[in-house]
Structure 1
Amino acid sequence: MIRRCSNLLWVRRSDSENQRCAIGSIRVGKFIRVTVLSLLALVSFQAAAEMKIAVLDYQMALLESDAAKAYSVDAEKKFGAQLQRLKNLEAEAKRLQERLQRDGAQLNQSEREKLELEFRQKAREFQVQSKELNEAKALSDREMLEALKPKLDAAVETILQNGSYDLVLDRGGVVEVKPEFDITRQVIERLNSTR
């Protein structure tokens, strides 16, 4: 039987010889693929050596800025009283729940129902106030981000232009990076210098 042994060679072979030829072709094919991939990797490493690459942790740049730290302090003052009320409600609800568990069997029906009702009211009040606080905090956070984002983008753009970077990667997508490639601290300093 005449079979193809390689791209250029057709020969008469038995089935066992064809199997050996096929295995040899697979090995040659793998060798060629590995060689081509190695050459491509070498070329890409050389190209990467000529590129100026940086890594930026955008979230860290935002959160570590002076403006974000000042906002955090202001938010604590602004929402501190509401947060304290929530903590008090939570403590009261826990106290009622513990009393129900501890003394529930000894209380008469009306006292137990009264405690259960009071516990449910505290829990409901906690949920409502917690939701209100979360919504108010989220709105305040969005307003701060909307005000700070253009300044952060401008700081990033300035650092990128001054550094003439060819490629900037997000820190979240990089497993490990040498400190000299991380421009996050430069962006934070630039953002802090612009008021």
Structure 2
Amino acid sequence: MKILFRHCLVILLGALALGAQAQAEDFKVGFVNTDRIFREANSAKAAQAKLEQEFSRREKDLNDLGAGLKTASDKFEREAPTLTEQQRAQRQKALVDQDRDFQRKRREFQEDLNARKNEELQQVLDRANRVVKQVAEQEKYDLILQEAVYINPKHDITDKVIKALNAATPAATGK
């Protein structure tokens, strides 16, 4: 009886394993590299160009302010030995104030740029996610991953998504 029970158990486990393998073969997985989408999709490139245009003037002003501060600092270093103690203290205070103002403006610029960049990238990601969902439904994927430690390149559908994203107009992707 024990032998018959073991034999039936082995047959049952084998059948379950074969069923699980058949189910696994029907399970279709894909992977999307969001970093590539942010680099290669036309909408991401357009967002980057928009940000560059939007922030170029402030960046130039900030660079000019930094160059002026460096020039003033270099001039102070050259002239410091010939200045009176009072003149030296006044110029140092003015340089410290200028530097503080420059650092504040640079920090504000970076914060504003990061906030806008996040807004633009979120819009690109929202569009890309809609396209990923369309590709998944059309090609009957069960699971699409966006983050993975390792992925076999045969499961990477990033090229399909970028192609579909570039072909889609903003209105077609919901924007």
The DSSP-based 3-state class of the residue aligned with 1:174 is: coil
Structure 2 unmatched runs, 5+: 1-16, 170-175
SS in 1 for 2:83: coil
Equivalent residue, structure 2, for 1:4:
none
Q: Which runs of 4+ in 1 moved over 6 A?
A: none
Note the residue ranges of structure 1 that are not aligned, 5 or more in a row. Answer: 1-41
**Alpha-carbon displacement from aligned partner over 1:51-97 (angstroms, at most 9, x marks no partner):** 32221112432442211211211221221111011111222222333
Q: Which TM-score applies when normalising by structure 2? A: 0.70
The one of 48, 52, 58 equivalent to 1:82 is: 58
**Structure 1 CA distance, aligned partners of 2:122 and 2:29?**
28
TM-score (norm 1): 0.64
Given the alignment, which residue of 144, 160, 168 partners 1:186? 160
Task: Report SS of the residue matched to 1:104.
Answer: helix
Q: Cα–Cα, structure 1 residues 168 and 99, in superposed 2: closer, same or farther, change >3 Å?
A: same
Identity of aligned residues (%): 25
Partner of 1:118: 94
Structure 1 residue aligned with 2:114: 138
Count of residues paired in the alignment: 152
Write the letter of the residue equivalent to 2:112: A
Kindly name which structure, 1 or 2, has the bigger radius of gyration based on alpha carbons.
1
How far 1:48 sits from its partner (Å)?
4.9
Q: Given residue 167 of structure 2, which amino acid in structure 1 is its aligned partner?
A: S
* 2:141 partner SS: coil
For 1:88-167, list aligned pairs within 5 A: 88-167=64-143
SS at match of 1:54: strand
| Structure with larger RCO (C-alpha < 8 A, sep 6+) | 2
The secondary structure found in structure 2 opposite 1:148 is helix
